[in-house]
Amino acid sequence: MKRKRSTADTVPTDMPKNIRKYWYRRYDMFRRFDEGIKLSNEMWFSVTPEAIALYISNQVKLRLPDAKVVLDAFGGAGGNSIQFVYDFDKVYYMDINNENVALARHNAGVYGVRDYINFMEGDFFNLESRHLNAFESDPVDVVFLSPPWGGPAYNTQAVWNLSSCEPYPIQDVVKAALKISPNIVLYLPRNSNLDEIVDLIPESVSNRPVLQYLCQNGHCAAVVVYIGPDFVARRDPDTIPVKEDEYEASIAISPEDKA
């Protein structure tokens, strides 16, 4: 069935030129875009597309079957948190920017899941006692990390180094997450430096990290890294293994690409 399109299919005139191309992908970002989804200029190129967010949520649940509580530490416009609601009993959302928190609340409302997300405004690197108290009463089983990638420039590099990511080196992000849970899921550029990814694994974790290259609309969109002692090994029927060495890697093809 053809997706129902908005009658106004022209780019809004007040949209800055550099983000106009994202408007044409609005239904990839949120299938229910026309029901009132709101994005800021920054969120237009930052939000996780809905099919990818759904896939990640399903994968985290399948690979951590006992997990009940997830923290979306860099929650943005809510793309991931909204999808986590369907797989987890409790979803903590955090973002440092109060405008993004408002956008995420609003967008979760469009999907009818606002009351199922615990919205927190705050700095993930400097958690306040109210956040820590919440995590103490409902301990976080897995931390999902979709930190800023330093803008669209990552796309122009052959290899994207985790250590030179602005404003936060990914190593620092992982270090902060490990204070909350030993199980973490990272959403990174597809050209991320693999040696640096392998080096992220704490010595206490004996299982290899799992990398999934996610493809959508015929191109590789991102790599997702699952790190932690509680992840169970599994291979999905829609993944193609690409290498088994220090890590296990696979390519996951989105349903649209397979059709």
Ligand X SMILES: C[S@@+](CC[C@H](N)C(=O)[O-])C[C@H]1O[C@@H](n2cnc3c(N)ncnc32)[C@H](O)[C@@H]1O
Q: Which residues bind ligand X (CB under 6 A)?
A: 46-48, 74-80, 94-97, 100, 123-125, 146-148
Angstrom distance (rounded) from CA 59 to CA 122: 27
State the nearest-atom distance from the C-beta of 243 to ligand X, in Å.
27
Q: How far is the CB of 232 from ligand X (least distance, A)?
A: 24
Smallest distance from ligand X to CB 154, Å: 11
Residue 219: how many CB atoms within 10 A of its CB?
8
Of the pair 150, 205, the CB lying nearest ligand X is at 150
- Pull the structure tokens for residue 241: 């293994």
- Which parts of 73-113 fold into alpha helices (H)? 79-84, 98-110
Question: First CA to last CA across the chain, in angstroms?
Answer: 13
Nearer to ligand X, 73 or 194 (CB): 73
- Integer Cα distance of 191 and 159 in angstroms: 5
Token pair, residue 204, equals 């206490």
Q: Which is nearer to ligand X, 92 or 124 (CB)?
A: 124
Nearer to ligand X, 78 or 248 (CB): 78
Give the shortest CB-2-to-ligand X separation in angstroms: 26
Q: Are strands 90-95 and 69-72 parallel, antiparallel or unpaired?
A: parallel
CB of 20 to ligand X, least distance (A): 19
CB of 43 to ligand X, least distance (A): 6
**Smaller CB separation from ligand X, 78 or 228:** 78
The span from the CA of 47 to the CA of 217, in Å, is 16
Q: Are 224 and 211 in contact (CB under 8 A)?
A: yes
Closest CB to ligand X among 124 and 248? 124
Distance separating alpha carbons of residues 148 and 221, to the nearest angstrom: 15
